[in-house]
Amino acid sequence: MSMKRKNELTQQIEDNKPLDKKKVIPRFIAFAFFLVLGVVCVIIGMNSYDKRETGLQIIEAPADKDVPLYQVGVSFQHWFEGSSRDIKLGVNTLTELYSGALKDAFRLLDAETEYEGWSNLATLNQNRGREVVVPKALYEALRQAETMTRQGQVYNLFAGALYAEWESLRYQLEPAETDPATDPAEAERLERLASATSDLSNFSLEFLDDAACKLRFTVSQDYLDLLAELELSEVPILDFNVLKDAFKLQMTADRLEARGYDRGFLATESGLTLALSAYTDGGDYALFGPNEGQAALAAGCSVTPGSAAAQLRAFGVAEEPGYYALELGGGTLLRHPWLPADGSYREVLYAALTVGKGKSLPETCYACLTLFAAETAAEAKAAAPALSGFDTALLLREVPQTVFVTAPELLPCRENGYETEPLS
């Protein structure tokens, strides 16, 4: 607007004169037109931006202040077909179902916090010696984990205090200063705790009534006295620990399948993937090896419907929390979450991948853990073919560019300098 025209309008207002409608109304109409046009363009742009096409859709569970962090480290994608509107409606429906299932699994497996209206793992920890009725999903998971515990020293459902101690060491600002390899006092402390935890006579998990899902968890007084001496009395004893993510995803997947959602896959940052029963839409299970502080693809195989995979690493990607390397005179020690249940240290593997076709994710992750318990490369190479029902790939520290595989489907990434060698 010119200064002259602006002054004319200002003078009219000051003189309390009506504005010239012949001049004002067209301008108002033009302004309204362009305003509406702008709004329409924004709406069209938003619809275009949010347009959904047939294919895999990312399903994101929203945050919940009452159950914080339940969705952290978990991802989910599912296949949808149809119009953009139908897909958006389907995604919204599935988001509600998925977030509810994931949240419920998180609450059930929480070993420290009780939730109103829920009977979970924390309830058992806080009611030792008493009969407790739990939901069927938790009852069945506890039975499976207890069976795994009795099979050997690879995994221990009663090792909550041991893993809490190990985790506290790995997350120190200067973990090397308190590492058991350099701190004799911490080494003795961890050895005493691991020894007592490995003695399964210290624990009893009784499955009293399968129909009612009634259990009783008890702990020996000697073990409780040791925890008190080590100032670990407040730490939960009964804990799914290194298999917690596996059970969480399996519980969630079971709920999704029961509602007819079977064409997707779930994954965790810890290296677990679970393909639902009708998933046929591509992708690979991958084994990664270390490469100058980053993860490099070493080998992989195609995802098949109803399969599960566990890819566990002894090294961190960049500065991944909980992983660190300790330089000693005898070499480099790699510290990671996959400590065997006897509290010992293994320096055999860089990484391992187990793929179970028709296997549950907890079974698949447990199989991978058995490889991390190997004390020598020869033992690890012998253990892999013995894992019935699993395709396995190993990356040994002593032969860093060779991936040892039990199936020809596990193909090497030659672009990154890897080759495969069969195990029989």
| pLDDT tens-digit map of 210-238 | 999 999 999 999 999 999 999 999 999 99
The residues that bridge with 58 in the sheet, in sequence order, are 77
Ramachandran assignment for 56, one of left (phi > 0), alpha (psi -120 to 50 degrees), beta (any other): beta
pLDDT, tens digit (0-9, with 9 covering 90-100), for 250-263: 999 999 999 999 99
Q: 244-258 and 361-372 are packed helices; what angle lies between their axes, rounded to 10 degrees?
A: 160
Place of tokens 């998990």: 205
373 vs 77: CA distance, rounded Å: 33
Could you tell me which CATH class the domain 282-424 is placed in?
alpha beta
pLDDT, residue 46, reads: 44
pLDDT, residue 271, reads: 95
| DSSP state letter for 121 | H
Structure tokens at 86: 């139908």
HSE-CB of 200 using CA atoms within 13 angstroms: 15
Strands 331-335 and 349-357: unpaired
402 vs 395: CA distance, rounded Å: 7
pLDDT, residue 296, reads: 94
pLDDT, residue 257, reads: 98
CB of 418 closer than 8 Å to CB of 400:
no
Helical segments of 199-325, H only: 221-229, 244-258
CB of 395 closer than 8 Å to CB of 351:
yes
Tens place of pLDDT per residue across the chain (424 aa): 443 444 444 444 344 444 444 444 444 444 444 444 444 444 444 444 568 899 999 999 999 999 999 999 999 999 999 999 999 999 999 999 999 999 999 999 999 999 999 999 999 999 999 999 999 999 999 999 999 999 987 999 999 999 999 999 999 888 889 999 999 999 999 999 999 999 999 999 999 999 999 999 999 999 999 999 999 999 999 999 999 999 999 999 999 999 999 999 999 999 999 999 999 999 999 999 988 778 899 999 999 999 999 999 999 887 788 899 998 887 899 999 998 888 888 899 999 999 999 999 999 999 999 999 999 999 999 999 999 999 999 999 999 999 999 999 999 999 999 999 999 8
